[in-house]
Structure 1
Amino acid sequence: MSDIRKILVPVDFSRNSCKVLRSAGGLAKSFGAQLSVVFVVQSFDDYSGFFVPHVPISQLEEEMVLNAEDKMQSFVKECLEPETPVQTRVLAGDVAESIVDHAADTGIDLIVIGTHGYKGMERVLFGSVAEKVVKTAPCPVLTINPYK
């Protein structure tokens, strides 16, 4: 594996992703790497046949991105040591594709992703984000089981 200078950590604001973020923070410190944290707001284009929202979809996505940006700051503060340098970003689109595209666009050397995030119906409908990222990432991917 080449030098690791940029580490990307996708999060979903769950307790599990907080554990993964803490582990990635330790890795970044060990490697002297830059830590980048992303959250992806799932695009509503995928749901257009399922429901009709009361507000325009673009406005709903905008509000979700703004709320996620606020949540990101408190989440990172809660999960990382105060002195940890970190960049954050909220994206919108297909979750796995957005993670992979962001990694390619920003020259990420390693993606650290949890094997378990939120569970339930989302898992049944969309499959594993981690699995899709592992299969399509432009760089090595370290998966972390937060239960171990």
Structure 2
Amino acid sequence: MQAIQSILTPIDFSDNAGKIVKAAAYVAGTFKAELHLVFVVQSFEDYSGFFVPPISLPNMEEELFASAEQQMESYIEENKTLFADAGVSSVTGKVLTGDVAEEILTFAAKKKVELIIMGTHGYKGLERIMFGSVADKVVKTACCPVMTINPYREECEGNVT
């Protein structure tokens, strides 16, 4: 296995993202690896067979993208102390548009990341049934190891028997 110099962590800005980012920062700091945070704006083309939008899709997607970029900048700024305390020297944020799993995989391949750290849960309810689990798709097709974290599970204390 090659050295881990670059880690990708998809985030969704939810409360659970903090748990995932904290774990990713710890691993990145341990390996002295750069950390890439990625948010993917789901393309509305995926929903085109289910509804007729009341507004112009291109304008809405552009607004969502711009908002997500601002949110990414703020998120990285708000977590500077976390990254510094974990020993992470390089954190970048990127907002992408398209199918969430495909964009994560494409970014990972393009940046030649050695590890993806992501949450096991994102989509819920009908969206999960329609589009499947992003984590499942990434785990099954990634070109590098994937560490998944269940953000709903409490941390274990002591040894588990």
TM-score, normalized by the shorter chain, greater than 0.5: yes
Aligned to 1:54: 54
Query: Deviation string for 1:65-108 (max 9, x for gaps)?
Result: 10111111222334452634310000000000000011001111
Aligned to 2:92: 87
Give the match's secondary structure for 2:58.
helix
Of structures 1 and 2, the larger Rg is shown by 2
Aligned to 1:7: 7
Alignment of 1:22-101 (within 5 A): 22-79=22-79, 81=82, 83=84, 84=88, 85-101=90-106
Contact 2:123 2:133 in 1 (8 A): no
Alpha-carbon distance in structure 2 between the residues aligned to 1:49 and 1:121: 15
Q: CA RMSD in A?
A: 1.6
Give the match's secondary structure for 1:4.
coil
Higher relative contact order (Cα pairs below 8 Å, separated by 6+ residues) = 1
Give the match's secondary structure for 1:15.
coil
Report deviation, 1:12: 1.0
Aligned pair count reads: 148
Contact 2:41 2:100 in 1 (8 A): yes
Instruction: Identify unmatched segments of 5+ residues in structure 2.
Output: 155-161
Q: Does 1:112 align with 2:117?
A: yes
Q: With structure 2 as the length reference, what TM-score do the two structures score?
A: 0.85
Q: Does 1:144 align with 2:112?
A: no
Q: With structure 1 as the length reference, what TM-score do the two structures score?
A: 0.91
Alpha-carbon distance in structure 2 between the residues aligned to 1:77 and 1:121: 34
State the one-letter code of the partner of 1:71.
Q
Range with bigger deviation, 118-127 or 74-83: 74-83
2:139 corresponds, among 125, 134, 137, to: 134
Report deviation, 1:135: 0.6
State the one-letter code of the partner of 1:123.
R
Report deviation, 1:39: 0.3
Q: Percent identity?
A: 53
